[in-house]
Chain A
């Protein structure tokens, strides 16, 4: 079976994203994982999911977006495929029974480590819901790069074991079912030397869209920005010299980044926290999963309600009125390459000096500037080549802009 194109985010900007944290368990113990509180004890019950759904669908006036993405995350969501199947059945029945405006304008979305993708239960679920499905498998690149971070939880022998082989075997099946799908790659300090070969490896596997971003946490060492820039320059050469740009896109390179921002015209918030909704196994609502306790190192969770009492709208007000200027330090407002410099509201909160979401973390600053320099190189080189070959006009007509995904 071949499923629909998912190159562009479905109903981009018009869909409500509602996340069920179905489990905090995962087969893996990725070294860069921001989920500091993963455990095998907190699985969502169907009753909690049902109450969350009942609350959300019975408050249609508070959820006016024209579409909805029902998102399932973990830990590893496919560890709870039976529960997910039951939740999705209930959602479909209830949206139909209530004649809800989201009926037939919904999608089920998953980010998975891919290990269980081939199992009968997961495949049956995919077949059953194939018209309303987005699935992303995370693979970080070459075996060496992937297994550097994406390792199994330690066994009794204490040895590290990478997950590459168990993921990559499922990639052909995934690409057959979702031929235009992209993958998400996360870069931490230790990953920098492997960026070029990893992206090229993913292209060679048939994954034509690689969405890649640096972690927002303050993990960077002196000199990382230069190493990062060099990797991106080498990757740019490889993509252009081998004409890989014709079939592939890598989100590192975007013509939208690296420009100054107008304080008024470009004042919108980057992150969508608060416009999304997450619910955990206890039935608590969060403005985004990143504000749940298992995602936070230093701060208390921000719980905006629960399935019993509903949402406290006062607690959403700070999220819905956030803008770029109010939370950014002066150096960001004055920055001449500010566009495309992202932030995560959850990390901002976790790293802030006080309990606020209004203090922007700038740990990523040097990495963004390095990316901008490499990005300038990429487009200058690519356009010169295309001009010399008389292909620029055709390229510009057909080029695809990858959405900057940050989490």
Chain B
């Protein structure tokens, strides 16, 4: 069931996820009528709107339209505090320590930037942010992503998070702490719970689908939605994911399609990365609980002997017999 709509206010609206804006893409502001129609669509369909901003000031009429509805703002970091933004996106590691306090913050990092992410900066960052989401960008070819180093870095960060929790702080870090609190899948939801309105007035599964192929639309603000094979975006129709308990996984359908040609099938590398996060979260939860009572309503994360659920496919069949 649809619950959210992402509205890209400009072709150069910041990425907040794995995809990157093509370098040649010039600024193109969403037409005011399309924006208003998109807002009207969201109101009728009862969807929460997430506006994604470019790095320049929008025209007054656009701001007035945006403020006509309850919404969430996602803005790029442009060197000064954005008072009214719910989510701030850093497209690289800030060169200096953050000066202001931020709400939800997204760091879009290359694999190398993540590996180099300094311990002290993480520590200082969490003094300024309520929640940090790390999103790995430029993972193409994803096979080149060094998953052993990824695992090492997760463990390094996990040790520090453990200390923070023991000190009474509760930093939220998507790849390390989310899984501790989850008891079911909490994925991206593109095409299922979330759609995107692009600056050309057309709907897309997510921003990445728009930037990859503008002809890949699923309707427009005038004619409405037309999502072909919508069931394929649902968890129940994802043969690997529906058996999986790496609940924090973004389950990025765009990466799925790039790597396996099917939106409902993750690559081996995505599964391994998600399970490294899951397993590190498991250890983190166990370690935190050694220091005292911690989220007693949540079960331990069970121990598993695989990093890619794909290897269990024959067992799933056997279980059904």
Contacts and interface: CB of A to CB of B under 8 A. Distances in A.
14 contacts: A264-B320, A265-B320, A314-B268, A315-B260, A315-B261, A317-B240, A317-B268, A317-B310, A318-B261, A318-B265, A321-B313, A323-B317, A326-B264, A357-B262
Interface stretch (A223-231, A347-355, A383-391): A347-355
Nearest to B319: A264
A313 interface: yes
A320 B312 CA distance: 11
Given A265-B321, A314-B267, A321-B310, A356 B239 contact: no
Interface of A: 264-265, 267-268, 302, 313-315, 317-318, 320-323, 326, 352-359
A222 B237 CA distance: 33
B261 A355 contact: yes
Interface in B275-311: 310
Binding site secondary structure of chain A: loop
B228 A354 contact: yes
A217 to B, nearest CB: 20
A267 B232 contact: no
Contacts of A356: 229, 232, 262-263
B154 interface: no
B259 interface: yes
A209 to B, nearest CB: 30
Nearest to B266: A317
Contacts of B267: 314, 317
Contacts, number: 59
Contact of B261 (A267, A302, A320): A302
Bin the interface of chain B by size: 20 to 34
Given A318-B264, A354-B228, A358-B264, 9 more contacts: A314-B260, A314-B267, A315-B261, A317-B266, A321-B310, A321-B313, A355-B261, A356-B232, A358-B262
List of 6 A-B pairs having minimum Cβ-Cβ separation, nearest first:
A321-B239, A264-B320, A318-B262, A318-B265, A353-B228, A314-B267
Contacts of B321: 265
A265 B319 CA distance: 9
A315 B266 CA distance: 10
Given A267-B320, A313-B268, A358-B262, A322 B239 contact: yes
Contacts of A320: 310, 313
A315 B143 CA distance: 13
B239 A354 contact: no
B215 to A, nearest CB: 12
B229 A359 contact: yes
A323 B320 CA distance: 12
Nearest to A329: B231
A317 B229 contact: no
B238 to A, nearest CB: 8
Given A267-B320, A268-B317, A358-B237, A318 B229 contact: no
Given A313-B268, A326-B237, A318 B228 contact: no
A360 B320 CA distance: 21
A322 B268 CA distance: 16
A309 to B, nearest CB: 11
Contacts of B268: 313-314, 317
A262 to B, nearest CB: 9
Nearest to A353: B228
Given A326-B239, A356-B232, A314 B320 contact: no
A333 to B, nearest CB: 12
Contacts of A302: 261
A243 B227 CA distance: 55
A142 B82 CA distance: 81
A353 B317 contact: no
A314 B259 contact: yes
Contacts of A264: 320
A268 B239 CA distance: 12
A369 B314 CA distance: 31
B260 A317 contact: yes
A356 B263 CA distance: 8
A93 B320 CA distance: 43
A354 B265 contact: no
A191 B309 CA distance: 46
User: Which of B232, B237, B261, B320 has the largest number of chain A CB atoms within 10 A?
Assistant: B261
Interface string B14-26: 0000000000000
A29 B22 CA distance: 46
Contacts of B261: 302, 315, 318, 355
A268 B318 CA distance: 10
A272 to B, nearest CB: 15
Contacts of B232: 354, 356, 358-359
Contacts of B262: 318, 356-358
Contacts of B265: 317-318, 321
